[in-house]
Structure 1
Amino acid sequence: MYQQGCFTAAQALRLSKDLAENNPGARVLIVCSENMTVCFRAPSETHLDILVGSAIFSDSAAAVIVGADPDTATERPLFQLVSAEQCIVPDSDGGITKDKLRATRHVLTEYGNMWSPSVFFVLDEMRRRSAKEGKATTGEGLDPGVLFGFGPGVTIETIVLRSFATD
């Protein structure tokens, strides 16, 4: 997939979940890479939007491996993809509370909007923060969670996540 923007990681997670669940033992590598510098233009007095875009978007890359039925003797799952589709999950209004947005806000503050890799940076931030704070799960002790990816037009990828216990 390419040229899909911010929601690509969520879309790739949904498709990889389906591939892994339908192919026993399969592991799917997702690599997201965004290169904002190819779009960079020098700021001008007549086009301040260029400066804003350059300030809030950044280059980035991230990768994850998706599988089903993990072998816990050799694998250490971090999150379970409970459901994934392009819609809004009913009764999920509590999935984007202020506590659940801490990692997202931190990543956006530190790196800007990195488009598709942002999702993986947020999940990693949650995992690291959970370990540092001694939380019971990889998702900062909060369960379940909802991942949203927004794309061209009004495309919304929605994934319900559950955290795994930390070691």
Structure 2
Amino acid sequence: MATGERTMIEKRHLYTSDDLLRSTPSITAYNSTSLTLRQELANHGVPRLGAEAARAAIADWGGRASDITHLVFVTSTSGCLPGADFELLGLLGLPPSTKRAMVEILDRMESKLGLGKEKLEASRAVMAQYGNTRSSCVVLVMEEMRRWSEERGLRTAGEGLDMGMLVGFGPGLTVETIVLRALPIN
């Protein structure tokens, strides 16, 4: 069974050109070490794709870019500083004073679930120390919680609580949720 048959994905998209693919074959080679190159492509391409989408939205709206006061932006691939949101300002001709908001998944989770900042403290610490490590961040966050719980003299590895919920978000609309029972700290 082909991958597309199992996943129902009929087409995949990649921001690139034929010239780039010919000059850097490692991008399409199985098991190649092209992560740095791919990240550079994302850092360059994400703001440009965002600008293209924004220009289309502005045209549909019928307004002028100069009337825009806020830019709300989200990406899970571009990891450069200054961020892709800042570059997008320039590409759209918006002044640097435009209020920018990066949609951050942890902030949204806290807000929607009514959580206090301390509930995602370990997640933020892992993000600050390691960045978004995708799936492996689950193990890192759980270890951080266990370590903090032990340092604070709490009775369980789950910040002193008996039960907890692990929620993981993947690319697109992937969501995984599991209820966990915390182990006692001995």
- Comparing both chains, which one has the higher relative contact order based on Cα–Cα distances under 8 Å and sequence gaps of 6 or more? 1
TM-score, structure 2 normalization: 0.42
Greater helix share, 1 or 2? 2
Greater strand share, 1 or 2? 1
TM-score, structure 1 normalization: 0.47
Higher Rg: 2
